[in-house]
């Protein structure tokens, strides 16, 4: 899947590079760019109706592409029907 933002082309693969896993952070749960912000947290906030703007304001280290990366990750997990089929960078 490919999306166009401005003049830049963003692919799911590019976005997924922002998702990492570190066994020492949250027991290896997927996190954003090595920070202590989990994909699960971001998806939960979005599911509760939080806006992109409010999430970015509450977590100043996050970037808009990080939120898109969380959605791309969720899509990849659902598309593959199992978590072990989705690889994250360590």
Q: How far apart are CA 74 and CA 70, in angstroms?
A: 6
Backbone angles phi, psi at 81, to 5 degrees: 65, 0
pLDDT digits (tens, 9 = 90+) for 2-39: 444 444 455 778 899 999 999 999 999 999 999 999 99
3-state secondary structure 66-78: HHHHHHHHHHHHH
Token pair, residue 71, equals: 């959605």
Measured CA to CA in angstroms, residue 80 lies from 9, 58, 73, 84 at distances of 24, 31, 11, 9
pLDDT digits (tens, 9 = 90+) for 8-18: 455 778 899 99
Q: How far apart are CA 48 and CA 79, in angstroms?
A: 22
The domains located in the chain, with CATH, are 2-85 (1.10.10.10)
């Amino acid at each position: 899947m490919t999306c166009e933002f401005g003049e830049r082309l963003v692919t799911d693969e590019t976005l997924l590079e922002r998702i990492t896993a570190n066994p020492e952070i949250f027991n290896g749960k997927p996190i954003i760019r090595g920070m202590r912000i989990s994909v699960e947290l971001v998806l939960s906030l979005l599911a509760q109706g939080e806006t992109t703007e409010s999430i970015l304001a509450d977590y100043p280290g996050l970037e808009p592409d990080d939120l898109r990366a969380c959605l791309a990750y969720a899509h990849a997990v659902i598309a593959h029907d199992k978590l072990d089929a989705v690889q994250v960078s360590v």
